[in-house]
Structure 1
């Protein structure tokens, strides 16, 4: 029973921190445009083919 006197305030503090972080994220615009990032992931290979570049490939050392 005594452990609840410690765990409940700790849980309340965690909830308050989580809510504060959520409101900060909303206020700073983190949730403004969710569709662009989803499309960028889905259609990233088409853009690489058009550009002829691949960001993950390493530059080759041709001498």
Structure 2
């Protein structure tokens, strides 16, 4: 039972740190364009390799 004196405040601090990190990411605009990265991954075409002409 004595370990709860350490674990409960530790869990609260870790949860608070996670909440602060999440709120910071919201404020900094991390979730503004959710579709842009998905479309860039799909439409990012590399040029086709040049095939030498057959003689």
Aligned partner of residue 29 in structure 2, secondary structure: coil
- 1:9-20 aligned at under 5 Å gives the runs 9-20=9-20
TM-score by structure 2 length?
Answer: 0.78
The structure, 1 or 2, with the larger RCO (C-alpha pairs under 8 Å, 6+ apart) is 2
| Bigger CA radius of gyration | 2
User: Which TM-score applies when normalising by structure 1?
Assistant: 0.69
Q: How does 1:50-61 map to 2 (within 5 A)?
A: none
CA shift for structure 1 position 25: 0.3
Q: Which residue of 2 aligns with 1:5?
A: 5
Which residue in 2 is equivalent to 1:49? Answer: 47
Cα displacement (A) at 1:43: 2.0
Instruction: Tell me the number of residue pairs that the alignment of Structure 1 and Structure 2 aligns.
Output: 49
RMSD of equivalent CA atoms:
1.6
More helix by share: 1
